[in-house]
A and B are shown apart, each in its own frame.
Chain A
Amino acid sequence: MTTQPAPMTRVRVDQAKTGNLSSLTVLRFSGDITGTSNDAVFGAYRQVPADTRKLLLDFTKVEYINSSGIALLIELLMAAQKDNRTARSFGLSPHFQKVFMMVGLNQYIHHFPDENSACAAF
């Protein structure tokens, strides 16, 4: 079977406001997150302003995350924790919410159904 090449990972870095109007940085992922997404994921993380303490991950346009992609996200969240940043996420499909729970990502990130509720929870 000929496999289609995975859609390239793109990450957009946005600034937004939390529920109490303090600023936060949003990493908006799109495409598939796989082992080849390292540069896109960590390249985006390096763009996060140094004084940012609140990080929101938007997975609404992510179609697939394989095990290597999960490993990347774990590394990302561990790096965020090391940098004293709090992370929230939204937009994950139920399948990947379960995968996040299985691999223990819940201890690093809380997932919300949408951006507003995620921002309000900061």
Chain B
Amino acid sequence: MRSKFVLHRFYGLISLLFLLSTAPLSLRAQTQVVLGHSAVELTGPWKFHTGDDMRWADPNFDDSGWGTMDLTPRSGSTSLMYGTGGFVPGWTKRGYPGYSGFAWYRLRVNIQNAQDARAGLALKMPAHFDDAYQVYVNGQRIGQFGRFTNHGVTFYLSRPRTYPLPANLRNRPTTIAVRMWMDAATPFIAPDVGGLHGPPVLGQPSYIQALLRLDWEDLDRALNGEFLLSAILLQVLLVAFGLYWLDRSEHAYLWLGLVCATSLLYLVVVLLGYYTAWIGQTPVEFLEDVVLIPAYIGLWVLFWGYWFRLERMGRLHGVVWGLVLLLAVGMAMLRPPLYGRAVPVHGMVWLLPLTEVFKLLLGAMLVWVTYRGIRRDRTEGLLALPAVALVVLSLYQEDLIVLRIPVSFFPFGFGINLSDLATMLSLGIITVLLLRRFLQGQQERERIRAELQQARSVQEMLIPQHAPQVPGFTVESVYLPASEVGGDFFQILPGDDGSLLIVVGDVSGKGLKAAMTVSTIVGALRGCTARKPSEVLAYLNRVLHGQVKGFVTCSAALIAADGAVTLANAGHLPPYLNGKELPMEGALPLGMMDGAEFSMMHFQLAPADTLMLMSDGVAEAQDEQGHLFGFERVSNLLQRPISAAEVAAVAQNFGQEDDISVLSVTRTATMKAVPA
């Protein structure tokens, strides 16, 4: 039942051998035709009995008291699950509902009129069966599918198989016995499982091999959908992870990639199960039903949650993973190796509906997420609605089987099931939606970039790009924001008396928010009439207190024309005078405390002296290993004459993390102070 390929109905092969001879022109040409090489479907009726006894393989066993099982496919009969024609319903549908375990089929045949007694015979077993079998001919085992041991049966996804029959079976009665075994969990898959789903075929080996090839072709054809879906999933997976790599802010890309990866893994397991015997059906079922399917449903719910940009995703994660875990545990109890051993068979009475409830609850979560998505953004939600509906259809295909709704079809000879079709269509829609969202994101980023560029232009107007020419001083400034706009600032405000008021500072944080605070500060400074550094800082503190989150470090220096310097500091890096750090009292930055007062220090700037002020972006530059540039390197750097630009460049090359601003003032000439 777990095989997806078509049971090929075979009504007997007739071979035509054309022997064309090149006769002498004097003779008439002859064509010799030999008929009668054939294979026969052993439709029975077979004798059938549940249970297990190795004596039942004996050709002399009296099976007259057994029931019968006709393996003739009824006209129009199809597999609910695979949509294949010529399907014989299993024993659960034919008088043995719910039965699992061992059962035997027996058939006596008399093989007569064989053309070539030396050619031998072969038996092709049906491609559909549940779940493993051993074939005996006249009490001798000729083959098996699955591994039968004293510890149990290991079974695999059903595949077509042929077995050679013993010699000398012609013109004498022969007993064929098939010992079947079905796992206790198999009845959960479909309502018509159990035993053989088609007649074995007996015939000459060459014809049996031809039939085998046809069965494999049917299998390939039935799995075309899986191969196609795998290719589509791989493409969508690459697109999703690629988009996530380009835009890490859109988590939906990542979760779609995970959905595709899970589904792809599922298909790989399915295909490996069909085409190889690397893994038994028990681990395949465990991986598929207990791990991958619950995770797959949960991932879909989370993907749509991220897609609709719902809030409180942490809570959604909690609920979804909780349900996934419950579903996984429930499925584990209904699948081998637990079911029928650790979990009693009658436990399915409550386990089955319970797991179905968990699964439906996950479906309900998906519906709820979609509803919230539509409420949040009607257009986006309605665009995604068809894709969500198809996802739901793909997730609950198995439940349609239970409702006896066919889910597999062969349009134009191409095998496809509803789940695969729905997944392909939903992925197509989602890919279009993904690209639409990515393009929208690109446009949004472009808009933000343009706005940041405009903000940078505004900041460049507020913060001098070139230091003003001030008689008696050489002023040099460098400003290297870490992003488009920065949180460092400085103002150079010459006075009418030949003095120079320099204000440098650093807003905590970076980016647009810090730049807005810088704009506030620069605007306030331009409206400030005070020139005494402590008063300037007190004024800025009043402006900023309660207005900004974080703080602003700031240093204000008033340099008189005669070189007398008055300096006040609010948590800013102390200035360096001729490369030597000025000892200053620590003080709270601006904006932290209402009514803060700032002490001042005084010193003289002699001709050729240089006062250098910088932001913490210099000392806190970090290399790739996370090492700080540090105060010691700053001091060492300033031991030789060095320009502000060089200092900034060294820090930037070390590894810029924050905005870097450096400002130096060198007194160039002796000038007298102009009386105010």
Report yes or no: B626 in contact with A102, Cβ–Cβ below 8 A. Answer: no
B573 at the interface (CB under 8 A from A): yes
One of B109-117, B460-468, B587-595 contacting the partner: B587-595
A61 at the interface (CB under 8 A from B): no
Neighbour of B553 across the interface among A4, A103, A106, CB < 8 A: A103
Question: Which residue on chain B has the smallest CB distance to residue A96?
Answer: B628
Interface string of A52-94 (1 = CB under 8 A from B): 0000000000011011101100100010000000000000000
Question: Which residue on chain A has the smallest CB distance to residue B617?
Answer: A67
Interface string of B628-639 (1 = CB under 8 A from A): 101100000000
Chain B residues touching A, majority SS:
loop
Neighbour of B574 across the interface among A71, A100, A102, CB < 8 A: A102
**Residues of A contacting B573 in the complex (Cβ-Cβ under 8 angstroms):** 102
B218 at the interface (CB under 8 A from A): no
Report yes or no: A104 in contact with B508, Cβ–Cβ below 8 A. Answer: no
Report yes or no: A78 in contact with B574, Cβ–Cβ below 8 A. Answer: no
Neighbour of A104 across the interface among B588, B616, B620, CB < 8 A: B588
Report yes or no: B550 in contact with A68, Cβ–Cβ below 8 A. Answer: yes
A71 and B517 alpha carbons, distance in the complex (Å): 15
**Whole-angstrom distance from the CB of B320 to the nearest CB of chain A?**
24
**Residues of B contacting A74 in the complex (Cβ-Cβ under 8 angstroms):** 551, 588-589, 592
Report yes or no: A70 in contact with B508, Cβ–Cβ below 8 A. Answer: yes
Report yes or no: B571 in contact with A35, Cβ–Cβ below 8 A. Answer: no
A35-B509 contact given A64-B626, A67-B550, A95-B619, CB 8 Å threshold: yes
A12 at the interface (CB under 8 A from B): no
A62 and B572 alpha carbons, distance in the complex (Å): 22
**Residues of B contacting A71 in the complex (Cβ-Cβ under 8 angstroms):** 508, 549-551, 589, 592
Question: Which residue on chain B has the smallest CB distance to residue A105?
Answer: B586
**Which positions 144-193 of chain B face chain A at CB distance < 8 Å?**
none
Instruction: Count A/B pairs, Cβ under 8 Å.
Output: 70
Question: Which residue on chain A has the smallest CB distance to residue B620?
Answer: A66
**Residues of A contacting B631 in the complex (Cβ-Cβ under 8 angstroms):** 95, 98
Interface string of B606-625 (1 = CB under 8 A from A): 00000000001001101010
Report yes or no: B506 in contact with A78, Cβ–Cβ below 8 A. Answer: no
**Whole-angstrom distance from the CB of B673 to the nearest CB of chain A?**
31
Neighbour of A68 across the interface among B509, B574, B620, B655, CB < 8 A: B509
B658 at the interface (CB under 8 A from A): yes
A63-B626 contact given A103-B553, A104-B571, A104-B587, CB 8 Å threshold: yes
Report yes or no: B586 in contact with A102, Cβ–Cβ below 8 A. Answer: yes
Question: Which residue on chain A has the smallest CB distance to residue B549?
Answer: A71
A35-B550 contact given A66-B658, A78-B592, CB 8 Å threshold: yes
Report yes or no: A101 in contact with B586, Cβ–Cβ below 8 A. Answer: yes
**Whole-angstrom distance from the CB of A72 to the nearest CB of chain B?**
9
A4 and B592 alpha carbons, distance in the complex (Å): 30
**Which positions 4-35 of chain A face chain B at CB distance < 8 Å?**
4, 35
Interface string of B501-545 (1 = CB under 8 A from A): 000001011000000000000000000000000000000000000
**Residues of B contacting A70 in the complex (Cβ-Cβ under 8 angstroms):** 508, 551
**Whole-angstrom distance from the CB of B661 to the nearest CB of chain A?**
13
A104 and B550 alpha carbons, distance in the complex (Å): 15
Question: Which residue on chain B has the smallest CB distance to residue A69?
Answer: B508
Question: Which residue on chain A has the smallest CB distance to residue B551?
Answer: A71
**Residues of B contacting A63 in the complex (Cβ-Cβ under 8 angstroms):** 626
**Whole-angstrom distance from the CB of A62 to the nearest CB of chain B?**
12
**Residues of A contacting B658 in the complex (Cβ-Cβ under 8 angstroms):** 66-67
Output the residue of B586, B589, B593 with the most chain A CB within 10 A: B586
Report yes or no: A67 in contact with B626, Cβ–Cβ below 8 A. Answer: no
**Residues of B contacting A66 in the complex (Cβ-Cβ under 8 angstroms):** 508, 620, 657-658
Output the residue of A4, A78, A101, A104 with the most chain B CB within 10 A: A104
**Whole-angstrom distance from the CB of B534 to the nearest CB of chain A?**
15
A99 and B616 alpha carbons, distance in the complex (Å): 9
Question: Which residue on chain B has the smallest CB distance to residue A7?
Answer: B626
Report yes or no: A106 in contact with B626, Cβ–Cβ below 8 A. Answer: no
Report yes or no: B620 in contact with A103, Cβ–Cβ below 8 A. Answer: no
A109 and B616 alpha carbons, distance in the complex (Å): 22
Report yes or no: B586 in contact with A106, Cβ–Cβ below 8 A. Answer: yes
State the A residues within 8 Å of B (CB): 1, 3-4, 35, 63-64, 66-68, 70-71, 74, 78, 95, 98-107
25 pairs, A vs B, C-beta closer than 8 Å: A35-B550, A64-B626, A64-B628, A66-B508, A66-B620, A66-B657, A67-B509, A67-B550, A67-B616, A68-B550, A70-B551, A71-B508, A71-B551, A74-B551, A74-B589, A78-B592, A95-B631, A98-B631, A102-B571, A102-B586, A103-B551, A103-B586, A104-B587, A105-B586, A107-B588
Q: Report, nearest first, the 10 A-B pairs whose CB atoms are least far apart.
A: A103-B571, A67-B508, A104-B588, A71-B550, A104-B586, A101-B586, A104-B587, A71-B508, A68-B508, A71-B551
Please give 15 more A-B residue pairs, beta carbons under 8 A apart, in addition to A68-B509, A74-B592, A78-B593.
A1-B655, A3-B657, A67-B553, A67-B658, A68-B508, A68-B550, A71-B589, A74-B551, A74-B588, A78-B592, A95-B628, A103-B551, A103-B586, A103-B588, A103-B589
